[in-house]
Amino acid sequence: MIVHQQLPMSVNLASFDFLLIEMVHMARRLSEKQETALSNDEQMERGYTFLENIGFQVGRKLTERLLLTRNRIVESIDVMRFLCRELWPIVFRKQLDNLKTNRKGTFVITDNYFFWFSKMTAATGTEMKEYTTPYLYFPSGFIRGVMHTFGYPVHVIAQCPNLPACIFQVRFPAPSNVSTAESTPSNPPSESTPSVSQQNTGLSRTSGRSLSSTTLGPNNTPSPLNPVNSPHPESS
């Protein structure tokens, strides 16, 4: 069903580039049309949340398809491993450059030449941030969708310090918040990164279960892919 082609696929790639560009414009147009009493910024945020949701759906469905041929993933480390080693080359056609974790529920994914942005240029540093942030919503929604298929309601924040390089912060919810909806405030960085408020749609039962079961497994090895769930042993 899935063919991972090694051919150039230039028609696919070009159409996708155009589609992404047009989606951002469309989101902007849609948000301007709504005649509510929100301020301009809030309207833009709505438009961008729309983009993020599209990315979310795409991420979910794509992972479902890709997982058909592999065995089921039981451990939570394997989820990150799947994302970084298998999904990233298939979708973005290159390996991830760096994966860091702070062991407390946040992973930082760095890609030094983000494929979807390879054709973009911008003049100066500050302009760049302003112009590229809309385009970051779709990829962050995409990653959120991928994690959601496995049952992890994560929160993804994307930044783009230099144009082809992108950094995604993936934050897993703290265990005390597993059963309630959460929208964490945005993160440290001083740049104007938008944080997308995220609803906990479908929290599957496995997310609660996996938190408790992985503490029993051999997951406490100090590797960079150590799952976030292991420092949170549930008192069962």
Least separation in angstroms between CB 161 and another protein: 33
Consecutive H or E run containing 159: strand 155-159
Instruction: Specify the stretch interacting with another protein by CB under 8 A; choose among 66-74, 121-129, 133-141, 181-189.
Output: 66-74
Q: How far is the CB of 170 from another protein (least distance, A)?
A: 18
Binding to another protein in span 109-168, by CB under 8 A = 149-151
Residue 72 gets which letter from DSSP?
Answer: P
Place of tokens 């051919």: 7
For residue 124, the number of C-alpha atoms closer than 13 Å in the C-beta half-sphere is: 2
Task: State in angstroms the smallest separation of the CB of 116 from another protein.
Answer: 20
Question: Binding pattern to another protein, positions 166-205, x when CB under 8 A?
Answer: ------------------------------------x-xx
Residue 125 CB, nearest approach to another protein (Å) = 38
- Are the CB atoms for 110 and 94 separated by under 8 Å? no
Of residues 1 through 60, those in contact with another protein by CB under 8 A are 1, 57, 60
Q: Taking CA 155 as the corner, what is the angle to CA 52 and CA 28, rounded to the nearest 5 degrees? A: 20
Distance CA 167, CA 174 (A): 22
Element holding 104 (H helix, E strand) = none
Q: How far is the CB of 231 from another protein (least distance, A)?
A: 20
By CB under 8 A, the residues from 75 to 114 that bind another protein are: none
Considering the complex, state which of residue 151 and residue 164 has its C-beta at the smaller distance from another protein.
Answer: 151
b/e map 2-34, b = 16+ CB within 10 Å: eeeeeeeeeeeeeeebeebeebbeebbeebeee
CA-angle at 182, arms to 181 and 186, nearest 5°: 160
Q: Which one, 143 or 157, has the nearer CB to another protein? A: 143
For the bound state, the minimum distance from the C-beta of residue 220 to another protein, rounded and expressed in Å, comes to: 17
End-to-end CA gap in the chain? 42
208 binds another protein (CB under 8 A): no
Among 10, 68, 123, 218, binds another protein (CB under 8 A): 68
Is the Cβ of residue 71 or residue 236 nearer to another protein in the bound state?
Answer: 71
Query: Would you tell me which residues interact with another protein (CB under 8 A)?
Result: 1, 57, 60-61, 63-65, 67-68, 70-74, 149-151, 202, 204-206, 209, 213
